[in-house]
Amino acid sequence: MVLSKEQFLTLYAQQSRFGSKGITSMRQLLAQNVSDLRAMTLTMDGRLAIGSIVVQGIGLVNGLGSLADAKTRKDVRDAWFGVYDSTAGVLGGLLELWAVIMNTRTIAQAGVQGASKSISLASIRFAGNIAGAAGGVIGAASAFAKMEDADRTGNRNAVRAYLLSGVALTGIALTSTAASVGIAAEWIVARQVGGAVTQRSATAVALRIGAQGTPTVLGISVTGWGLLLLGAGFLFQFVAIVLTPTPLQKWVSRSYFGKGDDKYPKGDWKTEKDGLIDTMQSGTEEASNSKAREPVAQ
């Protein structure tokens, strides 16, 4: 088939337009990816979300490993608490990162006002805070369970530390729930949903606990309190772990030279020796199991 000059020029013009559209699409896609990357790495919310995903992801991997190695019901319980908590943390971090990206895109397309009215963006932010609240509840439940364990062994200092940790993590659940309510209130105000009473109530809530609201509790925002309580919860858990004696420390406290409340009967050297042997054997078995789990060099 032989094309005329006019047909050739028409076909050439069509192909040029198709090529130009493809190049334009690639440029737009590249610009969008760069914008998303900047939003994730250069904003505080993006960095916190990435940090949460990394930390909680490591915790999830460790929790699954602990679950596989658990020998007692207590170990299984603690491992499941860790898995649930880390799962909620990873989910919350992913949702927050998604919200950061979507917020940047929505503002670029529809402006700040359009972003405030976006139900998709509000839903993602709402779900992220609900995941944070779930993590707080799970963390508090774990702390209170460990507090009961410490109470059964008479470790009063560890009991207090776990109690404070549980209270702090409960506070995270409350602040995350409050943040979710604030997000819903801001969306209702922006979209003018409901009548005058609904609008007044939503405005009051948004001004108190919304993202743009003024901090009213000791000059710290709801999000700020959540971060402080998270740090306090982990700190008290660490203190409780430090205050929980190892099996060898427990044996020493019960021995003739110890100062524990449940000491071995005075002069009963056989019982003390048997207790030491049992302690050393349990430690050897634990070390052997740990060694067996290490990868073998090829």
Within a domain: 294: no
Distances from the Cα of 81 to the Cαs of 61, 75, 138, 198, in angstroms? 13, 10, 7, 39
The 3-class SS string of 67-79 reads HHHCCCHHHHHHH
CA 21: distance to chain centroid? 42
Number of H helices, E strands in the chain: 9, 0
**Rounded CA gap, 180 and 184, in Å?**
6
Whether 50 is covered by a domain: the verdict is yes
Residue 258 lies in a domain: no
Question: Which residues form the domain of 77?
Answer: 31-244
153 located within any domain? yes
Assigned domain for 16 exists: no
Look at residue 116 in the predicted model and tell me its pLDDT.
Answer: 81
Q: Residue 8: its pLDDT value, please?
A: 58
Asked whether residue 17 is assigned to any structural domain, the reply reads no
What pLDDT does residue 252 have? 67
Give CA–CA dist 103/265, Å, rounded. 68
Is 134 inside a domain boundary? Answer: yes
Other Cβ atoms less than 10 A from the Cβ of 167: the count is: 16
Alpha-carbon separation of residue 6 from 9, 10, 15, 19 (angstroms): 5, 6, 14, 20
Output the pTM of the full model: 0.70
Beta-bridge partners for 261: none
- Overall number of domains in the chain: 1
What dihedral do alpha carbons 123, 176, 46, 121 form, nearest 10°?
A: 10
Residue 253 in domain = no
Residues of the chain with pLDDT under 70: 1-9, 11-36, 39, 207-222, 247-254, 256-264, 267-269, 272, 279, 281-298
Q: What is the pLDDT of residue 285?
A: 44
